[in-house]
Structures are given as C-alpha cells and as structure tokens.
Amino acid sequence: MTDPLHDIAFRGFASDNYSGVHPEVLDAIAQANGGHQVAYGEDAYTSRLQQVFAHHFGEGIEAYPVFNGTGANVTGLQSMLPRWGAVVAATTAHINTDEGGAPERVAGIKILGVPTPDGKLTPELIDREAWGWGDEHRAQPLVVSITQTTELGTRYSVEEIRAIADHAHTLGMRVHLDGARLSNAAAALDVPLRAFTTDAGVDVVSVGGTKNGALGAEAIVVLDTEASEGLTYLRKLNMQLASKMRFVSAQLIALYEGDLWLRSARHANAMAHRLRSTLDRGITGGELPGLSFSHPTESNGVFAVLPQGVADRLRERGFRFYDWDAAKGEVRWMCSFDTSEDDIDAFAAAIREELAAAA
C-alpha cells in the first residue's frame, strides 16, 4: 500500500464533509464485498435497509438509496410535484442556495423563497408564498420543504415541525424534510427520528449519511406513499440509481441498524458545543475582543463574527473553514464525528491568539 497523498493529522472546520469514512462503515463495505449480488437494488442489503428504516420511521415506508444529498432532495421533491408545482422554502435552504440550480434545471421545480431570521419556516412565513392556487399565471405552491438541522445550525422542535405539517396539510400541501443532518437534530433533541418526521406529519424525508461518516450514501424515505409517485423511475432518470447498490445500502445499515448514527452525531454536536462554550467564556472574561456569535449553536455548527483579517490569518495557520458572509465577517465552523477535544482546544487557542493580535 502506498502512503496517503494527504496529511492524515489534518482536521478542518469548513464542513462535516471534510471528514473521512467511519471505520465501522468501512468494515461494512468490506463485509458486503464477497461474492455476487443482484444489481440495482435487488440485493439482500437493500432489502434489509427497508427493515432498518421501518424501525426508525414506521411500517409502510419506502426507502430509496441514492448517491448524494442533492440527488435525494431533487428526486424526492420531483416525485411530490406535478410539472406546474412549486416548493416553499427558506431562502437559506440548501435546495435554494447550494445545489447549482438542480431543482430548477433538472426537476423543473420553481422554488418560492421566504426570508427567515434563523433558517426556520413557520406557518405564518409559509403563508407569504402559499397562495394563488388556481391562478394559471403562478406556479402552484404544493410542497413545503424544511431543513433539519437548518443551514444556519438551528433546529426545529418537534412541535414546530408538527405545526408546519398541520398547516401545510390544511392548505392541501405536502411536507418535505431535507435531513442531511437529521442525526444531529435527533441527538440534539434527544428524541427518536420518527418523533419529528413520521409522527410530526412529514411526508418525504431525505436521510443523510455522508456528513455523518458514510461514503456517498444518502436515502429518500417516503413516509406517506400517497405523497410521492414514480421514484422507481425518477431515481434512474436523475442518475441516482446505483448498479452496485448493496454498497450504498450496507453503509446506511452500518449507520442506522445500531446506534452509530446517534453516537457519531452526539459527538459532533458535543465538539461544537465545546468550541462555543470555550469561546463564550473568553468573551465573558473580556479575553476575546471583537468576537461574537450570529446564531445559536444547536447542533454541530458554530456561526461567529470575527474582526477584519482574523479569519484569513487563522487560515494561514492551517485552519480551514468557510466565510458565511464575508461582508459581515461571519464564518461557519463545523464539527464532525472524528473531531477531537484536542482539535477544538488547539483551534480555540489559535482564535484567542489572533483576536489578541488584532486588538
């Protein structure tokens, strides 16, 4: 075996996609590798995955493994809408800002964006775009899409999602949930996955794996089969049908059959809270001049505002993270299943040093 092409000691805070594959997931891929299995999902692993997700979301669900989150969201939403349909979503939603126009260009979906202060929709905010049914000049708002946890690191409570679903259903709309960080939400809320999905009235959910230790493994899970049509065909049409699907399903089984999904998410959340609490103490003690936070830390992401130049100097020291709003000095720091306490403490120390130098 040749040496790796990268420094395996490097840890980044830009995205939970920076992390590698969890060793237990790698083992599951290797265990699925022997012999032959029928292709395109007619394999033992994809069959077992239906049972695994039924345990989490309830009997009667249908699970469709796919390669990535964009594919899960676009294909799932496409199955919920006619050609004239539109989706109400927060303007910060991943489907609106970070999927390269795929909902519009691949699925032909109009997104009706609603500005929100914290990335979260409410029934009242939904009503800003949920109107015009029967008007041939307006794309018909037929689905509400929410993200759990949101792109701003905030999370919906069970009651908030239930209120959205009840309101949407009263209007004749369906509810889609982008669950790229579904595990982090469940860990933070300390409730089962079905508590804020099936039991709260969500119709279709994308279940994340990649951000929580998988290697390109996501799934569309249809919770109400009357809300979705044609996924068998749309998954192929959208180039999300894996020929060797057993390896995608095996990863999701490794995550969700036991408690790996929860252990990993709890750890990532805990590391974000360690970073936030360490820096909060420094702010209270007057030791971190110019640092503030722009959103609550409710899962595995920390959103902070830094004085001019500090972010660039931290990156020059080898710490990788994204500017969220460069004009405001706002940055995002994400933690992963393999972020360690030492990683957090070293990063916090570097932040402290650069803030002192800037002051």
Alpha-carbon distance 266 to 142, whole Å?
34
Number of domains in the chain: 2
* DSSP secondary structure, 184-232, as one string: HHHHHHTS-GGGGTTTTT--EEEEP-GGGT-SS-EEEEESSGGG---HH
126 located within any domain: yes
Range of the domain at 348: 261-358
Give per-residue pLDDT as tens, 262-274.
999 999 999 999 9
296 located within any domain: yes
Q: Is the pLDDT of residue 1 over 80?
A: no
Judgement on whether residues 269 and 251 belong to the same structural domain of the protein: no
Where b means 16+ CB within 10 Å and e means fewer, 188-201 reads: bbeeebbebbbbbb
Judgement on whether residues 110 and 97 belong to the same structural domain of the protein: yes
Judgement on whether residues 218 and 273 belong to the same structural domain of the protein: no
Identify the domain boundary among 258, 277, 310: 258
Q: Which of 274, 305, 265, 5 is nearest to 155 (CA)?
A: 265
The CATH number that applies at residue 350 is 3.90.1150.10
Judgement on whether residues 179 and 272 belong to the same structural domain of the protein: no
The CATH number that applies at residue 90 is 3.40.640.10
Judgement on whether residues 225 and 325 belong to the same structural domain of the protein: no
Q: Is 23 left (phi over 0), alpha (psi -120 to 50) or beta?
A: alpha
pLDDT at 116: 98
Residue 331 β-bridge partners: 304, 323
Phi, psi for residue 219 in degrees, rounded to 5: -150, 145
Site of tokens 């065909």: 233
Identify the domain boundary among 224, 258, 292: 258
Judgement on whether residues 242 and 183 belong to the same structural domain of the protein: yes
SS3 31: helix
Judgement on whether residues 226 and 159 belong to the same structural domain of the protein: yes
341 located within any domain: yes
Identify the domain boundary among 235, 258, 281: 258
Judgement on whether residues 290 and 182 belong to the same structural domain of the protein: no
Q: Is the pLDDT of residue 238 over 70?
A: yes
The confidence band for 2, taking pLDDT boundaries of 50, 70 and 90, is confident
* DSSP secondary structure, 45-75, as one string: HHHHHHHHHHHHH-TT-EEEEES-HHHHHHH
What whole-number percentage of the chain has pLDDT above 90?
97
Q: Is the pLDDT of residue 359 over 90?
A: no
Give per-residue pLDDT as tens, 38-76.
999 999 999 999 999 999 999 999 999 999 999 999 999
Judgement on whether residues 214 and 284 belong to the same structural domain of the protein: no
What does the mean pLDDT of the chain come to? 97
pLDDT at 341: 98
Judgement on whether residues 47 and 82 belong to the same structural domain of the protein: yes
Query: What average pLDDT score do residues 135-161 get?
Result: 98
92 located within any domain: yes
46 located within any domain: yes
247 located within any domain: yes
What whole-number percentage of the chain has pLDDT above 70?
100
pLDDT at 4: 92
